[in-house]
Structures are given as structure tokens and as C-alpha cells.
């Protein structure tokens, strides 16, 4: 008899899938989505009753019937995934470590094209909506179009569904903001929602209600060092701010912790900001005052400012554009 | 079999493996694995470990998380307790809560205490650390095997490690090794040890993002650096590799041979918040269930399919770890 000893307890360890497709018109998008959703519902029911019998999954049968590649023969997504129709665009959002090319093929088969496919995303998903009013650039329509777009923008900002689709209060991981920027006879809406389908569906419904044309884009925010809120703020018509750290004070470690806790900034970067060290990634030498947050919303800037001041720092917030135009304030 | 167990080990809870006997002391984490002619007849009666997602909710929004954030949350503290009690009676030894973030589950601490006090289960949990607090850790003292802290650059993991250290909690670190982390792997591990961590579990990436799989050159660097740091850490900290690494880090000594394989679906099961189960966190197979009896039946009946490799690249059950599978092809339009 052999006895081997070791010391261990069990542990538990743990992607977003987003596909945005476009069809020539709403009717084709609806037809393609309807058929896909029927299959997905059948798949869900089948999973409940006959889990995972090889080769008989409705999704596999569907793929085979339409000549779509499925590769593994197994459904890779979790139950409940559905295709949402957003005008002539469709959005399929779920969670999967791996996704067969079936859905991409399905869109192609209906004459559509895939605008974005993100498999197992690692960054925040950013939604950008370009909105305009048909014929709104004609001189006689311009005022009415501006009014319609203004009303649409207001409703997007206040819409409970949009607000609910934004994520919890920590703003470093995924910017919890919606911003609207006006450019001639159109506006852009940029947001980093926690629930992409919910947000896009809500914006689409508001656009339809206001008679606004809407084109949606989604992309992954892949810069782990920068807050996507910075992008959202940068896209905003409202002013954005830089937070300038003048002096970390007697407890730089508290300031560093406050920066990390408020912004989710990489602790190494925060630590470098409060010490007299070069930028850990760019190697740029320390220049005081140091910009510890750039192009963030006023609310974010104030939150950060108050947190680091409480930790003993001397700091200020300055309009981002002013700083770029005139240089850093002394 | 009892007669063959040394008296000094008889306080440990026995678990029959297939042809061997495992003894486990949940208070210390010590395991004794006994095999020989005396144990050849033994067979497993239940999964040894359940990795349990009470809810898939989380206070962070990491889009790389493999959990389905929209999965129904069908567990209550009471139903989870009843289910786990039944599984313990059937022979399950440990439950490891994950998520979602287990600390966002209302009543989590009460559930842990109750499981410890009223069942023989060893209870551990894995957390992103953001909701850890000294009062919480004190309230769980003596009730948990260990806390496993997942390290994310976005969170203040240094403060979290200090908190765990300062409260005397028994804890370990889960660290996913991605290409971006290769260069500073030694530095981070050494810093973790300096901060007070003494149990470092290195996870390999399972998933479809090719940018997160290590290249052969990166694997060679990790292999070299870890071998060096393993010697350097010596008795100061335990360095562990998850089973998904397989044999990809040949210079590192393994307590168990990689050839012994992955226990997903047999040794352990993942229980999801929507009352489905999977062989492992990354696996494409899910089976719905209602009762502990259903779980035991599925565990027994679906043994063969659950032995399959997961569709996600990175699985050690694939000879090539699923990393050389053909590139995805768009179906040709003639398929119309």
C-alpha cells in the first residue's frame, strides 16, 4: 500500500460574443433573425430535454441544412442567446469561449454582411450610434432636423433603459457614460454599456419614436490602460477635463490607492504617478503637475479630485482642451 | 479498508476513488492518497468537488469572463444548502464557490458557516477581492478552507493581498498567465510573495482569442522563469500549475503526473446559477438538472461525453491543446 500526502483545497476559476450584421432592408433582417431565433429557441428547449446528444443538436441540424460550417457539432453558447433586430441591422450578443462560424455564414447567406464580430472580448464593448434626420441637411429642413436630433439626444440621456444598461459605478473598467456630440446635421452617441443588447435596443426604439435614422457600430475597447470613459468623454460635446496632480503630499501610498480605487487604473501606473518616477510604459520623465486622468467627464474628474485631495494630495482639474491649447498650468 | 488506514489518519474523511482511497482533512487541507491491492475494488460514488456558481452576477464587468452574466439565478441560500447537503451525503468532499462573484450573493457568509457547521464539506471560494473586508474575513474564520484571490490589473490586488495577510486568512492566488504577463511574471510572483502570499496557482488560458495563448517561445520563457523562481521560492511559497497546462512546462516538477489527466466531469463538476452543470468552467457541454439525484445520474450517465475535450482552444485533453485547429472559414456564398 502506498500513501502520498499533499495539501490542497478545491478552487474555482472561471467572453463576450458580439456580432453586428447589416442587411439591405429591415424586412430581410427581420426574416433572417426570426428564423435564427426559432432555431435558438428550439435549441434551448432541446438542451433542456435531450442534453447534448452527439450530432442531433438542432443548431447542428440547422447548420447542416443551410450548408453552414459548425465544426465541433456542439453548441458553444449559453442558453437564451437571441438575435435582436435594430432596423436593418441585427445584433447577436452572448457569452462564449468559442463560436462556430455559423452565424457569420447565416448573415452572408441572406445577402447581408458582418460589420463586427467579437469573440471572447477582453475589453469593454463600446457602442457608437450615428444619428441623422432624412433630408435634414436641406436648408429648409435644417432647423426641424436639429430640433428632432436635440430631442432624441435628450431622450437618450434620460432614457431609463439606456441608463439601466450602463454598468455599476466604478468607471475604470467600462465607462458608464453616454455622450452625444453634434456635427452638422447629425449627431453621434457613444456609450460603453454593461448590457449591449439592452442599450442598443433602447436607442433604436428612441430613434424610431423620434423619426431619426440610426446606424450602430460596436467595437471592443482594447486599451487596458485607459478608461473607456475617456473615449466617451472625448467624443462628447460637453467639456472634458484633465486631473492634474501637483503634489502627492505626505502619504503618496494613500493617493495611489485613491487613484486606483476611483479609476481602476493599473496600480503600477498609479504608483508611478505619485512617486517621482518615469512613466512605466512610455519612459517619459516625471513632469509636475502630472496629468493622472485625461479627457474625463466633469463628474469623473470631481470624483477623482475629491478622493485624492482627501488622501492628502494637492491637485486641480482643468478643461482638457484648454490645457492642450495653453500647456499645463503651473 | 478501515483496518488498512493508519490510525493517525482515521480522523480524515474518506473518499473512494476508482481503485484508490483519498483521505481529506478540511481543516488543514491535508490529503492522503492511498492505493494498493487493498483499494483496487473501490469506485467513486459522487464527484469529489463541486465548483459552484451561486449566481453569475458580478460587481465587475470583465468581458473576458466565461460566465453567462444573463444566466438565471435559481439558487437561494437555502436551496443551495439543501442541494450541497445531499451531495455531501452522497460522498462529495468539497465545494468551491466561484461565479459570478460569490460575495455579491446575499447571505453568502451565512451559507458558508452553515455548510461548515452542518455538513462535512470543505468550503472554499474564489473572489475578485473587491468585496473582501476584515469583518467578513473574521466572520468566516475557521469556516473555510481557503480564499482564492484572482489577480486583475484593474483592481487593487496589492491591498487585497495585504488585507488577507493582515487578517490571518488562509488564502491563495489565482494568476492567469497571458502573453502580456510573461515578461513580468517573475516580478509579480515575487511581489505577491513579498506581500504575504504563499500559495500561487498559475492558470493557463482556455478560449478562442489567439492573442491570449502563449507562443512556443513564450512557453519556453515561462518554463525557464518558473523553474528558476520555483527554486528561489523554495519553502517560502507553493507554486502550482492548473491541470490545463498539461505537459507544456516540462522543466517544472509536478506533484501529480500530467498523464494522470484532467478530472473534469469525473473528479469535479461545475454547477451553474441556472441549475445546469458542466464538466469544467470552459466546457461547451451543459446539462440541466433539478435535484442532487439528477446530478448524480448525469455524472454517471454522461461520463463518456464529459470526457471530451472542450471546444475552446487550450484544453489539455487535445493532443495539440486545440491550438492548431483549422482556421475558421466563411461558408461560400454558393451555399445559398
CB pairs under 8 A between A and B: 226
Look up cell 454547477; give the residue. B271
Euclidean distance between CA atoms A4 and B283, whole angstroms: 30
Candidate from B174, B274, B305 with C-beta closest to A11: B174
pLDDT at A237: 52
pLDDT at A146: 84
Are B124 and A10 inside 8 Å of each other by CB? yes
| Helix (H), strand (E) counts: chain A | 11, 12
For chain A, how big is the Rg over CA atoms in Å? 24
Closest CA relative to residue A274, chosen from A295, A260, A264, A263: A260
Interface membership of B55 toward A (CB under 8 Å): no
- Per-position b or e across A230-260, b if 16+ CB within 10 A of its CB: bbbbebbeeebbbbbbeebbeebebbbbbbb
Summarize the confidence of residues B247-272 as an average pLDDT: 79
- pLDDT band (50, 70, 90) for residue B336: very low
Tell me what ipTM this predicted complex has. 0.70
* pLDDT single digits (tens) B222-248: 998 888 787 777 667 888 888 888 888
Are A257 and B156 inside 8 Å of each other by CB? yes
Euclidean distance between CA atoms B189 and B243, whole angstroms: 19
Give the contacts of B176 (CB within 8 A, at least 6 positions apart): B150, B151, B203, B204, B205
Element (H, E) at A293: strand A290-296
Euclidean distance between CA atoms A214 and A233, whole angstroms: 21
pLDDT at B284: 80
3-state secondary structure of B276: strand
In this structure, are B61 and B126 located in the same domain? yes
Give the contacts of B304 (CB within 8 A, at least 6 positions apart): none
Look up cell 468559442; give the residue. A98
* pLDDT single digits (tens) A270-306: 888 898 887 766 677 777 888 888 777 677 788 888 9
Are A16 and B66 inside 8 Å of each other by CB? no
Are A11 and B288 inside 8 Å of each other by CB? no
In this model, does residue A253 exceed pLDDT 90? yes
In this structure, are B228 and B129 located in the same domain? yes
Whether the CB-CB separation of A110 and A128 falls below 8 Å is answered with: no
In this structure, are B67 and B15 located in the same domain? no
* pLDDT single digits (tens) B34-45: 888 888 999 999
pLDDT at A73: 44
Residues in A closer than 8 angstroms to B270, CB to CB, are 12
* pLDDT single digits (tens) A89-126: 999 987 665 677 888 899 999 999 998 888 766 567 88
Domain hosting residue B239, numbered range:
44-335
Are A9 and B29 inside 8 Å of each other by CB? yes
In this structure, are B78 and B24 located in the same domain? no
Candidate from B208, B281, B328 with C-beta closest to A120: B208
Q: How far is CA B158 from CA A20, A261, A285, B195, B202, in A?
A: 39, 12, 25, 7, 17
Query: Among residues 1-30 of chain B, which lie with CB inside 8 Å of chain A?
Result: 4, 6, 9, 26, 28-30
In this structure, are B279 and B213 located in the same domain? yes
- Percentages helix, strand, coil for chain B (3-state, rounded to 5) are 35, 20, 50
pLDDT at A174: 33
- Closest chain A residue to B176 measured between Cα atoms? A13
Q: What angle do helix axes A26-49 and A58-65 make, rounded to 10 degrees? A: 140
pLDDT at B74: 87
Whether the CB-CB separation of A131 and A212 falls below 8 Å is answered with: yes
In chain B, % of residues over pLDDT 90 = 44
Residues in B closer than 8 angstroms to A97, CB to CB, are 66, 206-208, 282, 284, 310-312
Q: Name which of A5, A7, A10 to mutate to probe chain B: the one with the most chain B Cβ atoms within 10 A of its Cβ.
A: A10
In this structure, are B210 and B256 located in the same domain? yes
- Closest chain B residue to A49 measured between Cα atoms? B288
In this model, does residue B67 exceed pLDDT 70? no
Q: Minimum mean pLDDT among A137-151, B52-66, B131-145: which range?
A: B52-66
Are B311 and A76 inside 8 Å of each other by CB? yes
3-state secondary structure of B75: coil
Euclidean distance between CA atoms A185 and A177, whole angstroms: 23
Candidate from A5, A67, A101 with C-beta closest to B32: A5
Are A10 and B96 inside 8 Å of each other by CB? yes
In this model, does residue B293 exceed pLDDT 80? yes
| Most trustworthy range by pLDDT among A46-50, B51-55, B227-231, B260-264 | B51-55
pLDDT at A18: 85
Candidate from A78, A98, A121 with C-beta closest to B63: A121
Are B36 and A95 inside 8 Å of each other by CB? no
pLDDT at A323: 52
| Helix (H), strand (E) counts: chain B | 8, 13
Residues in B closer than 8 angstroms to A14, CB to CB, are 65-67, 98-99, 126, 281
Whether the CB-CB separation of A255 and A245 falls below 8 Å is answered with: yes
- pLDDT band (50, 70, 90) for residue A242: confident
pLDDT at B331: 28
Element (H, E) at B142: none
| Most trustworthy range by pLDDT among B189-203, B220-234, B300-314 | B189-203
Q: What is the DSSP secondary structure assignment for residue A210, as one 8-state letter? A: H
Interface membership of B86 toward A (CB under 8 Å): no
Are B64 and A121 inside 8 Å of each other by CB? yes
Euclidean distance between CA atoms B34 and B24, whole angstroms: 11
Residue A151's CB is within 10 A of a number of other CB atoms, namely 14
pLDDT at B335: 25
Element (H, E) at B65: none
Are B284 and A257 inside 8 Å of each other by CB? no
Give how many domains chain B has, as a whole number. 2
Chain A nearest CA to B273, separation (Å) = 12
The beta-carbon contacts of B251-259 under 8 Å, at least 24 apart in sequence, are B251/B223, B251/B224, B251/B226, B251/B227, B252/B223, B252/B226, B252/B227, B255/A6, B258/B316
Candidate from A4, A95, A172 with C-beta closest to B67: A95
Q: What is the DSSP secondary structure assignment for residue B214, as one 8-state letter? A: P
Residue ranges of the alpha helices (H) in B214-313? 216-233, 292-301
3-state secondary structure of A193: coil
pLDDT at A278: 77
| Most trustworthy range by pLDDT among A10-14, A186-190, B106-110 | B106-110
In this structure, are B178 and B33 located in the same domain? no
Residue ranges of the alpha helices (H) in B101-234? 108-118, 134-139, 157-166, 179-182, 185-195, 216-233
Which CATH number characterizes residue B239's domain? 3.20.20.70
pLDDT at B330: 28
- Closest chain B residue to A256 measured between Cα atoms? B156
Give the contacts of A250 (CB within 8 A, at least 6 positions apart): A312
In this structure, are B140 and B1 located in the same domain? no
In this model, does residue B258 exceed pLDDT 80? no
Closest CA relative to residue A121, chosen from A89, A97, A92: A97
Strand partners, A21: A90, A114
The phi-psi region of residue B128 (left if phi > 0; otherwise alpha if psi is between -120 and 50; otherwise beta) is alpha
Closest CA relative to residue A120, chosen from B202, B265, B178: B178
pTM for this entry: 0.54
Euclidean distance between CA atoms A165 and A143, whole angstroms: 31
In this model, does residue A194 exceed pLDDT 80? no
Residues in B closer than 8 angstroms to A124, CB to CB, are 61, 63
In this structure, are B318 and B282 located in the same domain? yes
In this structure, are B66 and B120 located in the same domain? yes
Whether the CB-CB separation of B173 and B148 falls below 8 Å is answered with: yes
Euclidean distance between CA atoms A11 and B102, whole angstroms: 13
In this structure, are B17 and B118 located in the same domain? no
| Cell, residue A328 | 499645463
In this structure, are B213 and B315 located in the same domain? yes
Candidate from A2, A14, A72 with C-beta closest to B65: A14
Summarize the confidence of residues B58-73 as an average pLDDT: 64
One DSSP character per residue, A54-122 reads: TT--HHHHHHHHTT---TTSS--SPTT--EEEETTEEEEEEE-S---THHHHHHHHTT-EEEEEEEEE-
- Closest chain A residue to B274 measured between Cα atoms? A79
3-state secondary structure of B293: helix
- Per-position b or e across B197-221, b if 16+ CB within 10 A of its CB: bbbbbbbbbbbbbeebbbeeebbeb
Amino acid at each position: 500500500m502506498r500513501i502520498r500526502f499533499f495539501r490542497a483545497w478545491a478552487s474555482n476559476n472561471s467572453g463576450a460574443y458580439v456580432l453586428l450584421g447589416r442587411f439591405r432592408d429591415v424586412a430581410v433582417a427581420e426574416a433572417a433573425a426570426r428564423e435564427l431565433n426559432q432555431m435558438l429557441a428550439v435549441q434551448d428547449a432541446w438542451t433542456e430535454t435531450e442534453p447534448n446528444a452527439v450530432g442531433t443538436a438542432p443548431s447542428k441540424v440547422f447548420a447542416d441544412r443551410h450548408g453552414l460550417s459548425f465544426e465541433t457539432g456542439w453548441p458553444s453558447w449559453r442558453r437564451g442567446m437571441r438575435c435582436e433586430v435594430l432596423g436593418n441591422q441585427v445584433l447577436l450578443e452572448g457569452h462564449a469561449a468559442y463560436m462556430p462560424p455559423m452565424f457569420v455564414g447565416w448573415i452572408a447567406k441572406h445577402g447581408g454582411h458582418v460589420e463586427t464580430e467579437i469573440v471572447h472580448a477582453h475589453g469593454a464593448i463600446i457602442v457608437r450610434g450615428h444619428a441623422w434626420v432624412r433630408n435634414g441637411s436641406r436648408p429648409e429642413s435644417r432647423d426641424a432636423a436639429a430640433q428632432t436630433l436635440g430631442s432624441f439626444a435628450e431622450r437618450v440621456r434620460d432614457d431609463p433603459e439606456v441608463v439601466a444598461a450602463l454598468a455599476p459605478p466604478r468607471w475604470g473598467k467600462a465607462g458608464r457614460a453616454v455622450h452625444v456630440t453634434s456635427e452638422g446635421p447629425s449627431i453621434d452617441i457613444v456609450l460603453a454599456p454593461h448590457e449591449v443588447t439592452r442599450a442598443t435596443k433602447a436607442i433604436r426604439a428612441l430613434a424610431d419614436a423620434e423619426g431619426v435614422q440610426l446606424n450602430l457600430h460596436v467595437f471592443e475597447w482594447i486599451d487596458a490602460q485607459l478608461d473607456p470613459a475617456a473615449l466617451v468623454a472625448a467624443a462628447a460635446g460637453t467639456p472634458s477635463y484633465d486631473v492634474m496632480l501637483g503634489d502627492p503630499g505626505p502619504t503618496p501610498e494613500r493617493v495611489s490607492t485613491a487613484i486606483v480605487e476611483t479609476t481602476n487604473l493599473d496600480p503600477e501606473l498609479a504608483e508611478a504617478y505619485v512617486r517621482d518616477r518615469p512613466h512605466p510604459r512610455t519612459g517619459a520623465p516625471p513632469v509636475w503637475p502630472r496629468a493622472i486622468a485625461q479627457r474625463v467627464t466633469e463628474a469623473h474628474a470631481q470624483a477623482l479630485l475629491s478622493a485624492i485631495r482627501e488622501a492628502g494630495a494637492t491637485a486641480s482639474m482643468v478643461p482638457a482642451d484648454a490645457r492642450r491649447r495653453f500647456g499645463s498650468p503651473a | 479498508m478501515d483496518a488498512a488506514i493508519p490510525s493517525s489518519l482515521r480522523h480524515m474523511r474518506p473518499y473512494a476513488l476508482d481503485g484508490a482511497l483519498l483521505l481529506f482533512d478540511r481543516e488543514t487541507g491535508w490529503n492522503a492518497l492511498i492505493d494498493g491491492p487493498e483499494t483496487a475494488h473501490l469506485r467513486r460514488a459522487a464527484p469529489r468537488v463541486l465548483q459552484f456558481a451561486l449566481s453569475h452576477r458580478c460587481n465587475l464587468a470583465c468581458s473576458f469572463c466565461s460566465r453567462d452574466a444573463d444566466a438565471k439565478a435559481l439558487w437561494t441560500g437555502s436551496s443551495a444548502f439543501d442541494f450541497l447537503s445531499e451531495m455531501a451525503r452522497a460522498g462529495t468532499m468539497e465545494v468551491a464557490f466561484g461565479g459570478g462573484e460569490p460575495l455579491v450573493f446575499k447571505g453568502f457568509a451565512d451559507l458558508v458557516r452553515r455548510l461548515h457547521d452542518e455538513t462535512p464539506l470543505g468550503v472554499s471560494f474564489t473572489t475578485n477581492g473587491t468585496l473582501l473586508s476584515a469583518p467578513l474575513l473574521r466572520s468566516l474564520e475557521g469556516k473555510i478552507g481557503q480564499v482564492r484571490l484572482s489577480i486583475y490589473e484593474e483592481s487593487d490586488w496589492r491591498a487585497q493581498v495585504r488585507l488577507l495577510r493582515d487578517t490571518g486568512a488562509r488564502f491563495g492566488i489565482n494568476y492567469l498567465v497571458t502573453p502580456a504577463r510573461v515578461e513580468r511574471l517573475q516580478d509579480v510572483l515575487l511581489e505577491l510573495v513579498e506581500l504575504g502570499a504563499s500559495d500561487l496557482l498559475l492558470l493557463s488560458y482556455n478560449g478562442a482569442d489567439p492573442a491570449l495563448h502563449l507562443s512556443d517561445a513564450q512557453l519556453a520563457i515561462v518554463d525557464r522563469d518558473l523553474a528558476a523562481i520555483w527554486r528561489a521560492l523554495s519553502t517560502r511559497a507553493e507554486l502550482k500549475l492548473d491541470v490545463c497546462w498539461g505537459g507544456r512546462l516540462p522543466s517544472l516538477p509536478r506533484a501529480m503526473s500530467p498523464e494522470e489527466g484532467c478530472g473534469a466531469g469525473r473528479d469535479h463538476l461545475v454547477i451553474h446559477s441556472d441549475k445546469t452543470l458542466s464538466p469544467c468552467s470552459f466546457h461547451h457541454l451543459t446539462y440541466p438538472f433539478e435535484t442532487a439525484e439528477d446530478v448524480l445520474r448525469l455524472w454517471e450517465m454522461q461520463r463518456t461525453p464529459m470526457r471530451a475535450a472542450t471546444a475552446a482552444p487550450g484544453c489539455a485533453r487535445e493532443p495539440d491543446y486545440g491550438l492548431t485547429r483549422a482556421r475558421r472559414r466563411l461558408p461560400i456564398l454558393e451555399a445559398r
